[in-house]
């Protein structure tokens, strides 16, 4: 599906939404195709480096992930490569995961989320960006949909199912656990609470302390300059 030539889409049907990002990010817009509305990621208007090399490479990775996940519930229903610098992905009608959404659907939502992540790993796809809740949408019926696979890696499913590479699935699983602990902490079991405490300790030791030290040093320099 993704390798075939796209049918011509009527520019007059394009939705007015258009998001232009920084020099390194794709332009996002909504366009209408015979299959339905799609989000188009487009690097064709960027600088030479991103237009010719980095942008197509990122789209190749994302397209490869969607190829693996095609037909599986919990992911955009279709995608289509427009050319080297642009990729159309089925638009998903849903809300970004939030406290309100989590409380509305309860533990069933996170059970579905965990099952969706398991299906993704079974097909050899690692998302690596689920710590950003904007990449987790929830439909009106409470079904989670994972989007934005620009950071994804694809491996042979057997290599993720067992062996040392299984450790690579932890970031995706840990991200879901993080949101569960944030929004529905009373539903964590003993094992999940232990994992959350361990993640907090590692985060504080490896991330928070160095960042706080850098921040304090920067504040001291600013004060010295003001005094001078």
- Domain co-membership, 84 together with 119: no
pTM over 0.95: no
* CATH at 118: 1.10.510.10
pLDDT exceeds 70 at position 22: no
Residue 223 lies in a domain: no
In tens, the pLDDT along 120-170 reads 999 999 999 999 999 999 999 999 999 999 999 999 998 888 778 889 999
What range defines the domain where residue 36 resides?
11-90
- Domain co-membership, 47 together with 22: yes
- Domain co-membership, 113 together with 187: yes
Residue 16 lies in a domain: yes
Residue 5 lies in a domain: no
* CATH at 22: 3.30.200
Residue 218 lies in a domain: no
Residue 178 lies in a domain: yes
Nearest CA to 136 among 154, 153, 149, 119? 149
Residue 213 lies in a domain: no
Domain count, the chain: 2
In tens, the pLDDT along 88-102 reads 999 999 999 999 999
What is the per-residue pLDDT for 201? 52
Tell me the C-alpha to C-alpha distance, in Å, between residue 156 and each of 65, 68, 126, 143, 149.
Answer: 12, 10, 11, 27, 17
């Amino acid at each position: 599906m993704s390798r075939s030539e796209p049918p011509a889409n009527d520019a007059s049907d394009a939705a007015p939404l258009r998001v232009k990002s920084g020099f390194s990010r794709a332009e996002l817009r909504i366009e209408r195709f015979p299959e339905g509305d799609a989000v188009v990621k487009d690097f064709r208007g960027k600088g030479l480096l991103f237009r010719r090399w980095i942008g197509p490479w990122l789209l190749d990775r994302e397209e490869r992930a969607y190829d693996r996940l095609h037909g599986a519930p919990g992911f955009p229903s279709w995608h289509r490569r427009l050319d080297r610098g642009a990729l159309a992905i089925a638009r998903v009608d849903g809300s970004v995961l939030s406290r309100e959404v989590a409380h509305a659907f309860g533990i069933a939502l996170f059970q579905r989320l965990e099952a969706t992540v398991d299906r993704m790993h079974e097909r050899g796809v690692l998302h690596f960006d689920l710590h950003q809740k904007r990449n987790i949408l929830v439909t009106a019926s409470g079904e989670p949909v994972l989007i934005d696979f620009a950071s994804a890696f694809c491996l042979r499913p057997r290599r993720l199912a067992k062996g040392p590479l299984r450790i690579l699935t932890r970031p995706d699983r840990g991200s879901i656990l993080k949101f569960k602990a944030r929004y529905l902490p009373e539903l964590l079991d003993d094992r999940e609470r232990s994992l959350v405490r361990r993640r907090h300790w590692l985060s504080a030791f490896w991330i928070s302390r160095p960042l706080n030290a850098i921040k304090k040093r920067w504040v001291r320099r600013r004060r010295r300059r003001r005094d001078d």
